[in-house]
Amino acid sequence: MTGIERAPAPNKQLPADRLKALHALMLRMRIFEERTAELFVEGLVKGTAHSYVGEEAVAAAIGPALSAEDYVGSNHRGHGHLIAKGADLARMMAELMGKREGYCGGLGGSMHIADLDLGILGSNGIVGASMPLATGAALVAKLRQTKQVVVSFFGDGAANQGVFHEALNLAAIWTLPVVFVCENNKYALTTPQAMTSAGPGVAERARAYGIPGTRVDGNDVEDVYFAFQNALERARAGQGPSLIEAETYRWGQHSMRANLRDPRPPEELKAWIARDPIKHVERLLVERGQMNAAEIEFVRAEVRNEVERAVDFAKAGTLPTSDEALDAVYAPLKDATEPASQGSRTLAFTEAIAEALHQEMAQDARVFVMGEDVGATGGLFQCTKGLFERFGAERVRDTPISEATFTGCGVGAAIAGLRPVVELQIFDFVTLTMDMLVNQAAKFRFMLGGKPTVPLVLRGPQGGGVRLAAQHSQSLEAWFTHVPGLIVVAPATPYDAKGLLIAAIRDDNPVIFLESKLLYVNSNGPVPEASYAIPLGKGDIKRAGTDVTVVATMAMVPRALAAAADLEKEGIAVEVVDPRTLWPLDEEMILESVRKTHRLVVAHEAWTRNGFGAEITALVVEKAFDWLDAPILRVGAPDTPMPFNDELERWAIPSQARIAEAVRQVLREV
Ligand SMILES: Cc1ncc(C[n+]2csc(CCOP(=O)(O)OP(=O)(O)O)c2C)c(N)n1
Ligand SMILES: [Mg+2]
């Protein structure tokens, strides 16, 4: 221990009642975990679970100090955190046994237990992930001025994640009410901290961000308690985040499942067991004359009974069904009615996006926007123009270049009750956010048994056409349509862009909203001035025809329409179907068109190989094979990253001519 801002604990003592309560709480954690380990061996607790035995003083000092409205974000070793925040042992145990009566209806398991009613944002199976989510919940508290505080628990191993640094930075610059609590048990799985972590310690890292970092004895409940009180007061007073590094030790292996080598020297483990945090409290209680041995034994027996009742409840639980699993993935979509006419006023694509944002922010105070340069600058492509002047810096937030964490902040804010619209400056940067989208946003509702909503929109420009080369020109929609839990929207006209963005913001699911750079520069079209929403999952026949169906997306829609106009001169009637939403997909519209034309071309800007077109092709082969008179052709990008050279970029992006040629070819086939 290097004495960085040590908590002024030694001469402070907790009142007797408080110490007794924390003792009982620690026993509940300990006995719950001991019983869980037995049930794991019996095969009743499945999968895996990570025992909190040895570390109980940390969560016990923190959970009861919080109000019911405060939030806790947890990690894989979360049972103690949840119990400390008030989770019911019976529902926890039922979840560990995969039962419907569990916190997640049997869909989440040990690493995903959460209950928003108790302010539990969730355990997390991804090391470090709870930190960005915590910044989001804290941002909601700050914007709503609720005085809620968010505690983010993580391990020493998680302090080497990029999101640790990003989240500390974000929390510091935005003065967010977060207390980061590192449970430093010296090991990450089997790797000692000394092998992986540079610098003097985790507490010192906080200092680099101007955040108070306090190192405490994590096995001394009073030491943790008083350090946490300081951090809590600071957060409540609106003075921003703190970090506490609690030195502690787990007694068991990394997890109940991992039968790996245990690199920990036996004498080290022995020394920490001798520093048992529960024995320590019991000694204090006896020394201070607050409890005697018989009274302690009585509490222990009561806790045992409570845990046994939890086990009985869990054993008697019922099994979730596959229908329940399927129903838990998406929040119900909302109805919407499109305007009768698109009117005569025209807007550019980017202006249509900006108008949707203006109108939604004006009508719903929960909507806010964040991203790089979205504030006074109005965004790299001006899609957020005028929002900052109209709605102010709190609701139109410039972010640091921390895509993972500001996207995760959006996920956390969505979970905690706002409706964030997060801009990715260029959609290729989505690679940096994948955990927050795929592991967090897409799965949160499901893992919690289908209850919470994650009304996040992640929007930004994708694709090529403006000579930004290989790392700024990709079309990656197939990654997202592959993931249950995400909605993927891909408009092709300013009219669709406005109505679909409004629908996306109102939707309760995480929405990936893709905008085409080619359409940014090349498309003006009619857009009604009044607000309107286009239902998600409803395609649009952009041109009716009888000979060939072209299913086209985004920038390929105008190219398909231009090709269709040319082909008409050759006597070919092309039907252009624009799905508009890639998931949910308007399958019936596509199938109906193919049943009419008997021929299909699919055109998108993305790579052909494993692209979204393969899904459309499979759909038609599976459900309308008998109606086809020719093989299906896909028109997409060749197998190359986007070249910089003008001619080569034009070669790589499917052209009107290539679409027309594909149409002619499917007509030549008999
Ligand atoms: C991003 C990610 N990488 C790796 C893992 C596998 N894993 C789970 S827990 C863990 C060790 C975490 O160590 P630490 O953060 O110190 O927490 P502790 O288990 O010690 O409480 C690892 C490597 C994971 N779940 N997520
Ligand atoms: Mg650790």
Q: Is 77 in the pocket of ligand 1 (CB under 6 A)?
A: yes
Question: In this structure, what token pair is assigned to residue 207?
Answer: 């200092």
* Residue 472 is among the residues annotated as catalytic for this protein: yes
pLDDT score of 258: 74
* 216, β-bridge pairs: 246
**Which of the following CATH numbers is that of domain 16-317: 3.30.70.890, 3.40.50.970, 3.40.640.10, 3.20.20.80?**
3.40.50.970
**Burial code of 265-293, b = ≥16 C-beta within 10 A, e = fewer?**
eeeebeebeebbbbebbbebbeeeebbee
pLDDT score, position 1? 39
Would the CB of 258 count as within 6 Å of ligand 1?
Answer: no
Ligand 1 pocket residue status of 80, Cβ below 6 Å: no
**Which atom of ligand 1 lies closest to the CA of 254?**
19
Residues of the chain with CATH 3.40.50.920: 541-668
Indicate the burial class of 614 (C-beta count within 10 angstroms; 0-12, 13-18, 19 or more): middle
Q: Is 480 in the pocket of ligand 1 (CB under 6 A)?
A: no
**Residue 402 pLDDT:** 98
pLDDT at 259: 77
The active-site residue out of 50, 280, 472, 604 is 472
Residues, CB-to-ion distance under 5 Å, ligand 2:
155-157, 185, 188
The CATH code that applies to domain 541-668 is 3.40.50.920
Q: Residue 187 corresponds to which amino acid?
A: Y
- Hey, what are 273's tokens? 């067991």
Average pLDDT along the chain: 97
pTM, entire model: 0.97
Enumerate residues 6+ apart whose C-beta is below 8 A from 43: none
Candidate of 123, 130, 189, 249 to mutate for ligand 1, largest count of ligand atoms within 8 Å of Cβ: 189
Report the distance separating Cα 379 and Cα 389, nearest Å. Answer: 13
> Which residue(s) pair with 347 in the sheet?
525
* Ligand 2 geometric centre to CA of 180 (Å): 15
596: DSSP letter? H
pLDDT (tens digit, 9 = 90+) per residue, 516-556? 999 999 789 999 999 999 999 999 999 999 999 999 999 99
Per-residue buried b or exposed e for 29-56, using 16+ beta carbons within 10 Å of the residue's own CB: bbbbbebbbebbeeebbeebbbbbbbbb
The residue contributing the CA closest to ligand 1 atom 8 is: 127
CB of 76 sitting under 6 A from ligand 1: yes
Percent of the chain with pLDDT over 70: 98
Q: Looking at ligand 1, which residue's alpha carbon is closest to its atom 4? A: 127
Q: For residue 11, is pLDDT > 70? A: no
Q: What are the start-end ranges of the H helices in 43-112? A: 56-62, 79-84, 89-96
- The CATH number of the structural domain formed by 346-526 is 3.40.50.970
In which band, very low, low, confident or very high, does the pLDDT at 605 lie, cut at 50, 70 and 90?
very high
User: How many angstroms does the Cα of residue 91 sit away from the middle of ligand 2?
Assistant: 27
DSSP reduced 3-state for 636: strand
Q: Integer distance in angstroms from the first to the last C-alpha of the chain?
A: 79
Helix/strand/coil for 262: coil
| Contact (CB, 8 A) for 608 and 648 | no
CA neighbor of 251 nearest in space, from 38, 54, 33: 54
Residue 3 has pLDDT above 80, yes or no: no
Mean pLDDT of 272-288: 98
Run of H or E including 604? strand 600-607
Residue 346 scores a pLDDT above 90: yes
What is the per-residue pLDDT across 249-269, written as a single tens digit (0 to 9) for each?
Answer: 999 999 998 778 999 999 999
Q: Point out the ligand 1 atom lying closest to the alpha carbon of residue 255.
A: 19
Nearest CA to ligand 1 atom 20: 188
Q: What is the mean pLDDT of residues 424-437?
A: 98
Average pLDDT over every residue of 546-573: 98
pLDDT in tens, 109-135: 999 999 999 999 999 999 999 999 999
Tens of pLDDT, residue by residue over 376-409, are 999 999 999 999 999 999 999 999 999 999 999 9
| SS3 at position 387 | helix
Which tokens belong to 18?
């408080």
Expressed in angstroms and rounded, the spacing between residue 421 Cα and the centre of ligand 2 is 34
**Could you tell me if the CB of 129 is within 6 A of ligand 1?**
no
Percent of the chain with pLDDT over 90: 97
Query: What does the pLDDT look like over 466-494, one tens digit per residue?
Result: 999 999 999 999 999 999 999 999 999 99
Per-residue pLDDT of 219-249, as tens digits, reads: 999 999 999 999 999 999 999 999 999 999 9
Report whether residue 127 contacts ligand 1, using a CB cutoff of 6 Å: yes
Per-residue pLDDT, averaged over 647-662, amounts to: 98
| Residue 154 alpha carbon to ligand 2 centre in Å | 8
Q: What's at 210, amino acid-wise?
A: G
pLDDT of residue 447 exceeding 70, the answer is yes
Per-residue CA distances from 125 to 48, 154, 560 (Å): 11, 11, 44
pLDDT tens digits, one per residue of 68-119: 999 999 999 999 999 999 999 999 999 999 999 999 999 999 999 999 999 9
pLDDT at 7: 52
Residue 189's CB: how many other CB atoms inside 10 A? Answer: 13
Output the CA 76–ligand 2 centroid distance in Å: 11
Residue range 433-451: mean pLDDT, rounded: 97
Give the tens place of pLDDT for each residue, 420-430: 999 999 999 99
Asked whether residue 6 carries a pLDDT value surpassing 60, the answer given is no
Cα distances from 199 to residues 28, 203, 204, in angstroms, run: 36, 10, 8
Query: Which residue out of 360, 403, 477, 515 is catalytically annotated?
Result: 403
Residue 669 has pLDDT above 80, yes or no: no
| Cβ(636) – ligand 1 distance below 6 Å | no
Give the pair of three-digit tokens for residue 109. Answer: 């398991």
Distance of CA 157 from the midpoint of ligand 2 (Å): 5
Residue nearest to atom 21 of ligand 1 (CA): 155
Q: Please classify residue 514 by burial: count the beta carbons closer than 10 Å to its beta carbon, then call 0-12 exposed, 13-18 middle and 19+ buried.
A: buried
H-helix or E-strand containing 286?
helix 277-287
Could you tell me where the beta strands, DSSP code E, fall in 436-501? 457-462, 487-489
Query: Which bound ligand lies closest to the C-alpha atom of 127?
Result: 1
Average pLDDT over residues 54-80: 98
With cut-offs at 50, 70 and 90, classify the pLDDT of residue 2.
very low
Q: Which ligand is nearest to the CA of 54?
A: 1
Residue spans in the chain of domains classed CATH 3.40.50.970? 16-317, 346-526
pLDDT higher than threshold 70 for residue 54:
yes
Is 598 considered catalytic here? no
pLDDT at 635 > cutoff 60: yes
